[in-house]
Chains A and B, each alone.
Chain A
Amino acid sequence: MLLLLFEQFLNGLQIGLLLFLLAAGLTLVFGIMDLVNLAHGSLYMMGAYFAAVFTQWTGNFFLGALLALPAGALLGIVVEVIALRTLYTRDHLDQVLATFGLILFFNEFARVVFGAGGMAIELPSWLEGQVMVMPGLPYPSFRFLIIVVGLACAGFLYLLVQKTRLGMLIRAGASNREMVGALGIDIKLLFTLVFGLGSALAALAGLMSGPITTVQIGMGDNILILALVVIVIGGIGSIRGAFIAAIAIGVIDTMGRAFLPNMLGTVLNPSDAGTLAQALSSMLIYILMAAVLVLRPAGLFPAPGR
């Protein structure tokens, strides 16, 4: 029972870290540029498609991933320069609408270019197996890799944001944008850089979730809403908050899906219990978010000065 619990915890951690990668970019863009970017999920999807295509070309998942990351960053920068730059000064409604339009565009674009059927990403054989994370607990290698990469990225982001000059500017931008500009920082370039970084993180999340679920149209739409929930719970502009909230949501969601069916199964028939459990664990997340917003409207770890 304890092993099962631990395994489900690892699954939750893995989903949480994927969510974190997506939410980190979103919260940076949101915190610094005050931009609600619904199209972030599309960048996630495009990252997965890039990885699928590049993996097919090169025949190697790692080469494909290495190529997909800069491609994702580049796509993000192009989107920022063409469409989003004019939206920074607009109100949130305009941003929601315009980026909603971008979602429609990217979903259809993917359908036209990559086909409607979805693509699978082929993993190298040594990642197909399992590793022993604990005696008696084998765990799929690739999922374990996701956890490692996710934690590494979180560490990298922590160092970047807390210890470097760029990170200092990012933090300063999140608490007072105008002042950073007034101090002579090229705020436009900073915005573009941060957007590129966020897009690369989204692409990374996409390409890592690609081998688990198939790469398909609209794969970013639902996880985007979860990522939005994460940044609202964590506090907009706060990487630390996003990290904690992402893990919490990943674990809650997984635990709900894993254990609720059995608990409900004692009173209901299995298929009904499954349907209800899935809905309940999804609802749990939104109940958590509503509770946080009502009790602490600025999120659990709001960025200072907001």
Chain B
Amino acid sequence: MPALMHKPVTTIVAIALLGLLALVPVASEAFDDPFMLTLFTRIVIMAIAAVSLNLILGYGGMVSFGHAAYIGIGGYSVGILAHHGVHAAWIQWPLALAMSGIFALLIGLLSLRTRGIFFIMITLALAQLVYYLGNGAYAYGGDDGLTILKRSDFGGLIDLNHRPTLYYLCWAILVAALYFCHRTVNSRFGMVLQGAKSNDRRMATIGFPIFRYRLTAFVIAGMVCGLAGVLSATFTDFVSPAMMHWSRSGDLIVMVVLGGMGSLFGPLFGAVSFLLLEEILSGWTEYWKIVFGPILVLVVIFARGGIDGALSRGQAGALMTGIAAFFLVYGVHLVYEDAWIIPTLILAAAFTLSGLVWWHYRRKRVASTETAGGDHA
């Protein structure tokens, strides 16, 4: 497994994390804290979606701003079938995967003709189309959504109503998705995909039909994400267009980038830290996004390569960002009891300022080393 050996630190951390995730139902039982299981089921499901997005975004360079649409398509497939009294998982799940695949094929056929910013926009537009399709489906609740009264039935093989069982199913699918992604990326197919990311013209000149390769990857990613949608719908017993809103797609991109694009375990780190951060911050203050927004901006500006990048390089700057973010959050927590708005704003300003000063000096240092290095044209 050559690709795994490149970053031993990341792999060890990721396997430890997966191991910890496997213990969640036990811990939830031991601490008598059912909410913990709820939270982590959501985290694991979103991690599956993030892994699927990483396949096209991280390895293929296709910035799809409409990936949440497949969560909705997968979810609605299950919801609509259940609404009509079809509960057999052997019908529901394959059909949901097929629907996600068909939609991904159609969206990919149109959008993969474009490049760069136009690709971002057209995937966004087509996802909005699906979103409004959900809104307009008045027979299935329109924008109020659709409640699933009975979960998928595996014929007694797997009992989805048993919460730990559902959790372990999600966990197993996550591990399978990671393994699948690992195998795909290191196959010939994955190499072509990555080659097309770094230079598509050259790959085309060598003779690879990159459109077809990209389309295949796009469909695979859509189907895996559709599976996440099926799990999400099963878990919440509910589907609604809100799960396809464009900001959900934004959240997915944030997870992938936060964790580290084009790294196998990046989306796992990203989804866990994004949702945990959301949970912790929103537990402390209802205005958690006022802290989370600037953290996101700073991560984008300073900590390129995300968590995975910071782990494998031990990058001081990223570490500093993390520590500063922690102190910021902790500060908010301390003053949360009273009027915390002003201290938060001051802290946020100080944080931004220190980050900018650090960035300024770093850029100077980089500039001086570049001059010392001589020509780099």
CB within 8 Å of B: which residues of A?
36, 82-83, 86-87, 90, 92-94, 96-98, 100-109, 111-112, 221, 225, 228-229, 232, 236, 271-272, 275-276, 278-280, 282-283, 286-287, 289-290, 293-294, 297
Contact = CB atoms under 8 A, between A and B. Distances in A.
A289 B139 CA distance: 27
Contact of A94 (B143, B288, B300, B341): B300
B301 A86 contact: yes
B290 interface: yes
A94 to B, nearest CB: 5
B126 A228 contact: no
Interface of B: 57, 63, 65, 110-111, 113-114, 116-118, 120-122, 124-126, 128-129, 132-133, 135-139, 142-143, 246-247, 250, 253-254, 257, 287-290, 292-297, 300-301, 341, 352, 356, 359
B296 A100 contact: yes
A297 B300 contact: no
Given A36-B117, A83-B297, A93 B289 contact: no
A92 B300 contact: no
8 contacts: A36-B120, A97-B257, A108-B289, A225-B128, A275-B143, A289-B121, A293-B118, A297-B114
Given A36-B117, A103-B293, 14 more contacts: A83-B297, A93-B57, A93-B257, A98-B300, A100-B250, A100-B253, A100-B296, A101-B293, A112-B287, A228-B124, A232-B121, A272-B139, A290-B125, A293-B114
A100 B251 CA distance: 9
Contacts of A280: 132, 136
B297 A101 contact: yes
A110 B257 CA distance: 27
Contacts of A221: 247
A52 to B, nearest CB: 20
Given A112-B341, A279-B136, A286-B128, A297 B297 contact: no
A283 B296 contact: no
B129 A283 contact: yes
Nearest to B107: A290
A283 B289 contact: no
Nearest to A82: B352
Nearest to A105: B293
Contact of A96 (B111, B113, B126, B253): B253
Contacts of A102: 293, 297
B219 to A, nearest CB: 18
Contact of B135 (A98, A105, A229, A282): A282
A112 B290 contact: yes
Contacts of A109: 290
Contacts of B301: 83, 86-87, 94, 98
B225 to A, nearest CB: 18
Given A94-B300, A98-B296, A108 B135 contact: no
Nearest to B258: A97
Contacts of A96: 63, 65, 120, 250, 253
Contacts of A297: 113-114, 118
Which A-B residue pairs are the 7 nearest by beta carbons? A279-B136, A105-B293, A101-B296, A104-B293, A108-B290, A104-B289, A101-B297
B254 A97 contact: yes
B135 A278 contact: yes
A236 B129 contact: no
B122 A279 contact: no
B135 A275 contact: yes
Interface centre among B136, B257, B295 (most CB of A within 10 A): B136
Given A101-B294, A228-B124, A232-B121, A283 B132 contact: yes
A122 to B, nearest CB: 27
Contacts of B116: 92
Interface centre among A225, A272, A287, A290 (most CB of B within 10 A): A290
Given A98-B301, A221-B247, A275-B142, A92 B117 contact: yes
Contact of B292 (A104, A276, A286): A104
Nearest to A113: B341
Contact of A97 (B124, B247, B294, B300): B300
B287 A93 contact: no
Given A276-B138, A282-B135, A290-B129, A108 B122 contact: no
Contacts of B257: 93, 97
A283 B133 contact: yes
